[in-house]
Structure 1
């Protein structure tokens, strides 16, 4: 756990220091974002989904990230304009508030809090929930929010060419067959670059001085992500008969995770309030180290 926290902190801080040093060009974040979205994330999706096994009783758990994103869309589109937030800010809140960091924060945090037995549920929530939401409805939403050409055909064409979505479809098509070990190693190495590079990019875009002027948006976004979303998921899952305690708790904890780093990258790549998106991740991740254990305590 300490190594995991150290990697997250080091990546964020190095990104912030790199910007302040003046030794990196202003386009650094854009280049890293392009690498993450077009190479590292597709490699990670391709490898992880190809290896995934699914038990039927876990389908309800896999549905929870879809509910979190749908609730985010309703919540921020209803309240954002009333609070005077511009459309780009509302869209950034939908993305960062609606997508949980169920992989790079969620998996090690859940293993540390609940043990390895909880990982099977956590992985299903991540792969069939968060990754699918990111590659489909979240990408479509970001494309629509940023696009000048909002015709359905143009939007679908752009989404269909989104590399992580192509990797997801390819992984499902190739699922029945094994591939050479060398391919798995290469994909693993490329996928491993996602967390440090994505967080470095977030740190590079992070402007701590901007927190004061964005307090309302941050309070609304992180309030939904870290508190309201897990509460809503807990209440909904309590209505389902026969769900095991472990599946219930892991599903709620995954909903309580910090904003997904790739959501901030997706928002920034589409010009949707990059500063706020970086702040949501930069503040949300350290806060989640306190709020997620608190949610687990409440569940007990």
Structure 2
């Protein structure tokens, strides 16, 4: 747990210090975002989905990230305009509020709180839920929200050409065959760069001055992500019979994880209020180290 916190904090703070040092060009975040979305994330998706072992009874748990994203779309599109939020601010909230950091924050947290048995459930939620939602509906939403040309054919082409989506298709098609060991190692090394580089980029874009005028949006976004999501998912799962206690607890905790770092990168890449997106991640991750254990305590 301490190693995880150290890596996340160091990557974020180094990004903040790098911008203030003046030693990095203003385009640094744009370059890192392009690398994360076009190299590191496809490598991670390709490796994770190819290695996935599907457990049928966990399909309900894997469906919850899709519900969280769908709920985010309904919640922020309903409240955002009424609160006077700009369309791009609403889109940023949908992305960062609707995608959970079920991998780099979620997996270590689940292991630390619930042990290795909990990780088996968490991995399925992450790979069949968060990864797939990011590469499909979230990408389509971001493309539509930022596109000047919103014709369905144009939007579909942009999603089909999105490298993580291509990696997703290749991973499923190649699932029946084993890869050489060196391929797995290379993909793993490339994918390992995602978290530090993505958080460095978020830190580089993080400006506390961006809080001015965004406090309400930030409070609404983090309130939805860290409080409302786990509460609603818990109530939904309680209404379903046959779910084990372990699966129930892990699924609720994964729903309440901090915003996904890649969601903020995706929002920034499409110019959807990058300042708010960076704040959602920069504040959401440390807050989740308190809210997730509290949620587990309440569940028990």
Could you state the TM-score of these two structures normalised by the residue count of structure 2? Answer: 0.99
Distance of 1:50 and 1:70 partners within structure 2 = 26
The CA deviation at 1:212 is 3.8
**Where does residue 144 of structure 1 map in the other structure?**
144
Structure 2, unpaired ranges of 5+? none
Distance of 1:122 and 1:174 partners within structure 2 = 23
The CA deviation at 1:214 is 1.2
- Write the deviation string for residues 223-254 of structure 1: whole angstroms up to 9, x where unpaired: 00000011110011111110000001000000
The CA deviation at 1:81 is 0.2
Distance of 1:227 and 1:49 partners within structure 2 = 29
**Where does residue 246 of structure 1 map in the other structure?**
246
Q: Secondary structure at the residue paired with 1:213? A: coil
**Where does residue 79 of structure 1 map in the other structure?**
79
Distance of 2:165 and 2:122 partners within structure 1 = 21
**Where does residue 207 of structure 2 map in the other structure?**
207
- Write the deviation string for residues 133-183 of structure 1: whole angstroms up to 9, x where unpaired: 000000000000000000000000000001001101110111110010000
Alignment of 1:61-72 (within 5 A): 61-72=61-72
The CA deviation at 1:286 is 0.2
Question: Within the alignment, does 1:195 sit opposite 2:195 as a pair?
Answer: yes
- Write the deviation string for residues 55-87 of structure 1: whole angstroms up to 9, x where unpaired: 110000000000000000000000000000000
Question: Within the alignment, does 1:58 sit opposite 2:90 as a pair?
Answer: no
Question: Within the alignment, does 1:14 sit opposite 2:5 as a pair?
Answer: no
**Where does residue 105 of structure 2 map in the other structure?**
105
Distance of 2:249 and 2:176 partners within structure 1 = 31
Q: Which aligned segments of 4 or more residues in structure 1 are displaced greater than 3 angstroms?
A: none
Question: Within the alignment, does 1:237 sit opposite 2:272 as a pair?
Answer: no
The CA deviation at 1:54 is 1.1
Could you state the TM-score of these two structures normalised by the residue count of structure 1? Answer: 0.99
**Where does residue 278 of structure 1 map in the other structure?**
278
The CA deviation at 1:210 is 2.0
Distance of 2:275 and 2:55 partners within structure 1 = 40
The CA deviation at 1:88 is 0.2
The CA deviation at 1:213 is 2.6
**Where does residue 93 of structure 1 map in the other structure?**
93
RMSD between superposed Cα atoms in Å:
0.5
Distance of 2:294 and 2:186 partners within structure 1 = 38
Distance of 2:127 and 2:240 partners within structure 1 = 22
| Aligned positions, number | 300
Q: Secondary structure at the residue paired with 1:100? A: coil
